[in-house]
Structures are given as C-alpha cells and as structure tokens.
Structure 1
C-alpha cells in the first residue's frame, strides 16, 4: 500500500552529449554479465542504452536503484529472477523510469524485454515515465540519476545512418523523432536543457498510452 499524503516530483532533463560528459555521475552500471547491471545507490549512471532497456526505481529522498539490461538470451531466461531482485532492492517504489529498446530484426528480444518490464512496472509503480523504442537504428541513450535532487539527466544521441553526423535531443521536435512512445508521469517534470516542457503545451506527453 502506498502512502499518497506526500507528493514528490521527479525531474527528467535531456541534455547534449557535451553537457552530459561534464556532470558528476556516481556509480557506473553496465550491461555485460561480468559487471553490475542492477545497482542501489544515491547516484548512478549508465551509457549506450541501444537495444537494451534501462531505467530505475525510486523512493524519493530515501532510496533508488538503476539498471541496464542486455536484450540477450540469458536475460530472457532470467527475467523473473531479475524482476524479483529489482523490487527487493527498492520495495514499493513511488517513481520509475523506463527507456530504450529497438525494433530490429537481429534483436528479437529487445522490445519484448521492454514490454515485459513495462507491464510489471505499470502494476507496481504509481508514477512511471517511459521513453519507449528508439526510432533511429543508430541511436542510444545515456542516463544519470541523483537521489539528492531526484533528477534523471538523459542524453539521447542519434543519426540517420552510420556516416551521418551524431546529434542530440535538444528540442521537443527531436525528442518526438527519437522515441515511438513518450509518457511522463503526472508528478514528473520534463526539461530539455534549461527549458521546462509544460503539460499545458504538450498534453500528449502526459496522456495515458
């Protein structure tokens, strides 16, 4: 049972790659099986989320965990155990973030993993924000989370093909072009750089989908 007497607001901020490189990041989360894929810490980050699924679970001002899950056969087999471990690290989370995935022929488990996590999170996380399915084949997202100010700092880079210039999400237009579905939790605030993206201007980001 969740206590709704106090409402917390998580901040989600997209920044350029140069800005992301400059911030203090905390503990690193990787995707390979010989490094931490799930981590409970006050400050953490992960990079190069492509066909993988990344994100985290948070009880504001108390505890937080991040994850970066490779869309490989081993994680497909271990999905139930991974889910149990997630909700053991942070019990009854109030906020969550889920991002990543691609619909590519060579990565059949990518979107299945994302959808399975999404289904579980919707049932157990009251305030859930989603950035579902990278639309560019050549795209990736990095994230950093800080429990001190309850802020997710995201950097999504993309290009049309392997020879094109790498760009970052720096506007609502580029954000829409990078993800198939965007859902911001009712209590979360969205920023691109220093500019806040308001619900009254972009209600579709806060609509149920």
Structure 2
C-alpha cells in the first residue's frame, strides 16, 4: 500500500529584539487573567515569557493556537481545564512548541507548570520542540507564530543582573547558556538569525531526552 502522508516542517527562528519588533504582528496573547491567554488564530504573538510557560499547538496549513500561562495559584487550580481547552481548540495536533519557566524561590509553580504541560504534550504531540527553563534570573522570551509559513520567531533576551546590558540569543553558544534543556523535533528546522543550525553539527539538540 502506498503511503500518501505528507511530512511538514516547522521553522524555529531566533532573532534580535529589534528584528522581532519589525515582524511582530497578528493577535496578541497576554498572561493576565483579564486578557486572552489561549488563542486560536492564523498569526499571533506573545511577549515577556519569564517564569510563565508559553508556546502553541499546530496542524500545519490548517489551524494553530498559542498560549501564555502565568505560573500563579489560579492557573495551578485550573490546570486540567486549561489542558482540555487547549486540545479542544486544536484537536490531534501534529506539531507543538513549549518554552519558558524559571527555578526561582518566589515562583514555586513555574517549573511544575512547565513539566506538567511537557508531560501532556509528549503523550499527545508527535513533533514537539521545547526550550525548557530560563537559566538567567533576568531573562525573557517573546514569540510570534505564522500559520502561512509555519514559522515560530523567537527572541530571548537575558542579562547577568539588573544593572547589566540586555543581550539577545545570537549564537548557539548563547542559546545553550539561556536554557537548561533544548529539544528540537525531528521534522523542525532551527535558525539563529539567518543561519540554519543543522542536525549534523549539533545532534544533541535533536537527541531524545
């Protein structure tokens, strides 16, 4: 029997803050409870993911949703309902992205929320890319997604302390220093600026972990 299935490739691109501001557009997703935290749209973006968890679920060329979940007590109580809503918006997603979280004393639910979502996504999303746990106390990630070209544009900013200059991920080295764990789905492509980061050069990013 002939296999007519089509394999789709999502693009994940890290850019500078100035480059991100130029392409930022679509529907905005926020983290506060008086604004949309979960949204189904063709194009969307979210900013300032710090101790929160952000990302999205995608069926390429068909539908996509993004989210930005605050690591507060209310979302801890509502976790099951949030998860049900996610997979109601996009049923049987083929691709997913998960990013964020910090291990800080004052934010005990941050990494618990990330790991709970990660566990659920691993079970239900065949192609999952993740950027787990910001390693700098002063760091944040912004993202934009476009369904038209199946591209996640990410901007991760960081600094060593509150008085230091803010930097962006501009190389593999700075990317590794910003996240504890990086996992790229088999079918996804990773770019930093205009340079593609190839699996043959950095197999650890595509390894099962």
CA shift in 2, pair 1:3/1:150, >3 Å:
farther
Return the TM-score normalized by structure 2: 0.98
How far apart, in 1, do the equivalents of 2:4 and 2:115 lie?
27
Preserved CA contact (<8 Å) 2:24 2:45: no
80 and 166 in structure 1: CA distance in 2 versus 1, 3 angstrom threshold: same
Query: Contact between 1:30 and 1:68, CA under 8 Å: does it hold in 2?
Result: yes
1:165 paired with 2:184, answer: no
Find the counterpart in structure 1 of residue 73 from structure 2: 73
* Contact 2:47 2:142 (C-alpha < 8 Å) held by counterparts: yes
Q: What are the equivalent positions in structure 2 for 1:117-156 lying under 5 Å apart?
A: 117-156=117-156
Distance 2:9 2:58 in 1: 11
TM-score by length of 1: 0.98
Partner of 2:103: 103
Q: Does 1:16 align with 2:25?
A: no
CA contact (8 A) 2:17 2:155 kept: yes
Q: Helix, strand or coil for the counterpart of 1:105?
A: coil
Deviations 1:80-138 (A, max 9, x none): 00000000000000000000000000000000000000000000000000000000000
Answer yes or no: is the 8 Å Cα contact 2:53–2:69 preserved in 1: yes
In the alignment, the residues of structure 1 paired with residue 191 and residue 15 of structure 2 have an alpha-carbon distance, to the nearest angstrom, of: 9
2 CA distance for matches of 1:40 and 1:47? Answer: 17
Q: Distance in 1 between matches of 2:2 and 2:134?
A: 32
2:94 and 2:127 in contact (8 A); partners too:
yes
SS at match of 1:176: helix
| Alpha-carbon shift at residue 20 of structure 1 (Å) | 0.3
Moved over 3 A (4+): 1-4
Assess if the C-alpha contact under 8 Å between 1:2 and 1:92 holds in 2: no
Cα distance, 1:25 vs. partner? 1.4
Deviation readout 1:26-71 (Å, 9 max, x if unpaired): 0000000000000000000000000000000000000000000000
What runs of 5+ residues in structure 1 fail to find an aligned partner? none
**Alignment match, 1:40:** 40
SS of the residue aligned with 1:6? coil
Q: Displacement, 1:12?
A: 0.1
What stretches of structure 2 of length at least 5 have no aligned partner? none
Question: 1:3 deviation in Å?
Answer: 9.6
Relative to 1, partners in 2 of residues 1:161 and 1:118: Cα closer, same or farther, differing over 3 Å? same
Query: 2:107 aligns to what SS in structure 1?
Result: coil
Aligned length: 209
Aligned mates of 2:166, 2:182 — CA distance in 1: 22
